[in-house]
Amino acid sequence: MRDFVLVTGMILETGPVSDYDRRLVVLTKERGKITVFARGCRRPGNKHMAATNPFCFGNFKLYEGRTAYNLADVEITQYFEELRTDFAGAYLGMFFLELASYYARENNDEVELLKLLYQSVKAIIKENLDNELVRAIFEIKALVVNGLFPGVPTDMELLPATVYAVDFIVNTGVEHLYTFAVKEEVLSQLKELCDRYRRRFYDREFKSLKLLEELCEPG
C-alpha cells in the first residue's frame, strides 16, 4: 500500500510539464518549500485544474517520488478568487509569493513564513487596507521572520510615528499585523526603509515587483 504525506500549504509557483501535467512549488507547514507534480491536471475537466494555481491554500495529499512529490488529492480552503479581477492586487500577491519562495527551503520550519504569507494575501483583498502599507508590513515582517531584520538605520531621521510602526511590525504576532493605518508621511518613510532593506539583503530583482511598479506608475 502506498504511503501518503498530508501537508497544509499555499502554491507559490506553477508551470506546465508535458501536455497535461503541472509542476507546483508549494510552501508547506510541515516540510517547508517542496516541489509537487500534478499529473493530468491540465486535461479538460480534470478535478484538480482549478486547485493547482498560484495562491491556492489548503490541504494536499501527496506521495513521494524519487526527487519530488506527486499530487494524489487536494482540498482547497481558500482560492483568493478576488485577485482575478484586481490586477494591482494580483501583482502585489505575486510579489509576496516570489519573496516567500526566495526565503523558503525544503525541510525548514517555515510555519511563520506561511502564516505571514497567508495573512498578507488576505490583507490585499480587504477593501479598507492600503496595499502600499500591506506591502511595507510584509517586507519588514519577512525580514523579522527569517532572522534578518537589522533594526532601524541610525542614519535616517524618522518620525516617532514611523519608529513606533516599525516596532509594532517587529514585535506583533502575524495574526494581528494588519490592524492599523498610518499617515502619508509615515507610509513614505516605511517605503523608503523597505527600499533600503531590499538593496541590502536581496541579490536579485523580483519580476513581479517590477511589473507591479510599472502598473502603478502615474499616467
Output the CA–CA distances (angstroms, integers) from residue 135 to 70, 149, 186, in the order listed. 33, 16, 14
Q: What per-residue confidence (pLDDT) applies to 192?
A: 96
CATH class of 5-78: mainly beta
Regions of the chain short of the pLDDT cut 70 = 1, 216-219
Q: What per-residue confidence (pLDDT) applies to 137?
A: 98
Q: What per-residue confidence (pLDDT) applies to 65?
A: 84
Report the CATH number of the 82-215 domain.
Answer: 1.20.1440
Q: What per-residue confidence (pLDDT) applies to 160?
A: 96
Q: What per-residue confidence (pLDDT) applies to 156?
A: 93
Q: What per-residue confidence (pLDDT) applies to 66?
A: 82
Q: What per-residue confidence (pLDDT) applies to 36?
A: 97
Q: In the chain, which segments carry CATH 1.20.1440?
A: 82-215
Q: What per-residue confidence (pLDDT) applies to 57?
A: 98
Q: What per-residue confidence (pLDDT) applies to 73?
A: 96
Q: What per-residue confidence (pLDDT) applies to 218?
A: 58
Q: In the chain, which segments carry CATH 2.40.50.140?
A: 5-78
